[in-house]
Amino acid sequence: MFNLLPEVEKKKILQEYNVRRGIVFFVFLCVSLGIALVGIFPSYVLSSIKLKEVKDNVSLVQQSSLFQEAGQLNKDLSQANIKLTALQADAPSVLIGDLFSRVIEHKVVGVRLNGLMYKKGATKDSSIVSLSGVAKNRESLSNFASELKKEPLFKNISLPVSSFAKDSNAEFTLQITGSF
C-alpha cells in the first residue's frame, strides 16, 4: 500500500517516521541519563561526606600536640645527624691487622721480623708502617724489599743503604708509606 502513494507523500511519511525515531531515541537517552544520575547521586553524597570527615580528621591530627612534637623531634634528629656526621671519623680503608698480615705474607726466607709499628699520617696517603728485623744476608733483605714493592697497597718502600752494610745478620729498619 505504501507503494501506491505519490512520491511527495512517501517523503513526508519517511520524514515523519525519522522524526518519531529521533524523538524515541532522545527520550530513551534522557531516561538513561536520569536513571544513571539517580544511581550515582547516593554514592556522590556518601563520598563527599567521607571526604569532609577525612579533612576534619587530618586538621585535628595536624593541630594535635603529638603531631607538633613529632615535627620538633624530626628537626632535632636531623640536627643530631648533621653533628654526628661531622664528628664521625673516616673508617680506615684497610684494618691494621690486615695490613700487618700483608707485610708478613711477603716475608722471605732469611728475614726475621722483630717489630711492626703503625703511625697514622696527617693525610690519607701519609700513613707509615715501620718494620725492624734481622736479615740473614743482603740478598734476602733485597728480596724482601722487592716482594713488598709488589703489593699495590704500599706506595713507597724506604730501605736505608746502611741496612746493607753488614754481610750477614744485618739489622734493618724499613718504612712503608701508603694510604691505609
Domain ranges, ordered by start, for the chain: 7-86, 96-178
* Residue 130: exposure state from Cβ atoms within 10 A (0-12, 13-18, ≥19): middle
Nearby residues of 74 by Cβ (< 8 Å), 6 or more positions away: none
Task: Report which secondary-structure segment, H or E, holds 64.
Answer: none
Distance CA 43, CA 67 (A): 33
Query: What is the model's pTM?
Result: 0.49
Instruction: Indicate the residue type of 66.
Output: L
Question: pLDDT tens digits for 115-162?
Answer: 999 988 877 777 899 999 999 998 999 999 999 999 888 889 998 888
Domain 96-178 has CATH 3.30.70.20: no
The pLDDT value recorded for residue 148 is: 92
**Mean per-residue pLDDT for 1-24?**
90
Top-confidence residue, 126 or 75: 75
pLDDT band at 2 (very low <50, low <70, confident <90, very high): low
Distance of CA 161 to CAs 15, 125, 145, Å? 120, 24, 12
* Alpha-carbon gap, residue 30 to 172, rounded angstroms: 106
What cell numbers appear for 53 in the block?
570527615
Cell numbers that stand for 112 in this block: 726475621
Distant-in-sequence, close-in-space partners of 86: CB < 8 Å, separation ≥ 6: none
pLDDT of residue 174: 92
Q: CB-based contacts of 178: which residues, under 8 Å, 6+ apart? A: 125, 127, 129, 153, 154, 155, 156
